[in-house]
């Protein structure tokens, strides 16, 4: 005798939600959103890395610039010119003090009658030299010469009190002269150890 057992038919694939569409078709929007989000993240990361690289490059170039001979000389000449310009435009006196022993210099506005004392509030700017640029010696236009200790160039409304030259050496020991002319108040850089023009005495004048 044959017994027929009723079998419950399972839901056909067409009865499920989303039937008639493949699994790839059902997940296309989600994949597109995922891909777009990944691309946006990639762009942001690239931009951030580029910015960090640019900042690091600028910082590195700044450090290299500070260590080059030309940059250090330019900073020093600018400081000397700043002193002359500030004194010419005011009734105050300014002084650039060069420390040959420490290979450094500073610019100050003189506010105290005691010129040997440098007050903290008088200092406008200070800087230093390095092995790439160092002071060899300083000669004033009155004949004074020094290769150690302190040397001072003071400027007032009428100009520099003394002229002179500051001889600097680069990393190859080549000399350059920063010439301070007290007659026309100029400060200029010349290659080599130039001869300093000193003011002539009355007995040396032809008239």
DSSP the chain: ---PPP-PPPPPGGGSTTTTS-HHHHTHHHHHHHHHHHHHHHHHHHHHHHHHHHHHHHHHHHHHHHHSHHHHHHHHHHHHHHHHHHHHTSS-EEEEEEETTTTEEEEEEE-SS-TT---GGGEEEEEE-BTTEEEEEEEETTS-EESSSEEEEEEETTEESS-EEEEEEETT--EEEEEE-TTT--EEEEES-PPPPPPPPGGGS--
Asked if residue 139 is part of any domain, the answer here is yes
> 120 with 60, same domain?
no
Same domain, 40 and 104: no
The reply to whether 102 and 196 lie within a common domain is yes
pLDDT of res. 48 = 76
- End position of a domain, from candidates 67, 102, 121: 67
Same domain, 39 and 115: no
Question: Is there a domain that residue 14 lies in?
Answer: no
pLDDT recorded at residue 92: 93
Whether residue 199 sits in one domain with residue 128: yes
| 3, part of any domain | no
Q: What is the pLDDT of residue 43?
A: 73
In a domain, 198, yes or no: yes
* Domain boundary pick from 36, 67, 98: 67
Per-10-residue mean pLDDT for the chain, 207 residues long? 50 47 51 61 74 56 60 94 94 96 96 90 95 95 94 94 95 94 90 80 48
CATH of residue 148's domain is 3.55.40.10
State whether 30 and 132 are in the same domain.
no
Residues of the domain holding 134:
69-204
Q: Domain for residue 171, yes or no?
A: yes
């Amino acid at each position: 005798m044959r017994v027929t057992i009723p079998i419950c038919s399972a839901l056909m694939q067409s009865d499920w939600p989303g039937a008639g569409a493949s699994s790839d078709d059902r997940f296309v929007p989600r994949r597109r959103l995922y891909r777009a989000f990944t691309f946006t993240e990639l762009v942001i990361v690239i931009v951030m890395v580029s910015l960090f690289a640019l900042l690091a490059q600028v910082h590195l170039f700044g450090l290299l610039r500070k260590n080059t001979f030309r940059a250090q000389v330019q900073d020093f000449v600018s400081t000397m010119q700043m002193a002359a310009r500030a004194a010419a435009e005011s009734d105050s006196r300014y002084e650039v003090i060069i420390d040959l022993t420490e290979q450094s210099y500073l610019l100050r506005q003189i506010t105290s009658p005691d010129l040997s004392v440098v007050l903290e509030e008088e200092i406008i700017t200070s800087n230093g030299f390095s092995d790439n640029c160092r002071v060899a010696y300083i000669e004033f236009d009155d004949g004074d010469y020094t290769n150690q200790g302190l040397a001072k160039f003071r400027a007032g409304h009428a100009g520099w009190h003394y002229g002179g030259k500051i001889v600097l050496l680069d990393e190859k020991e080549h000399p350059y002269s920063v010439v301070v002319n007290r007659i026309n108040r100029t400060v200029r850089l010349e290659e080599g150890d130039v001869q300093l023009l000193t003011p002539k005495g009355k007995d040396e004048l032809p008239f």
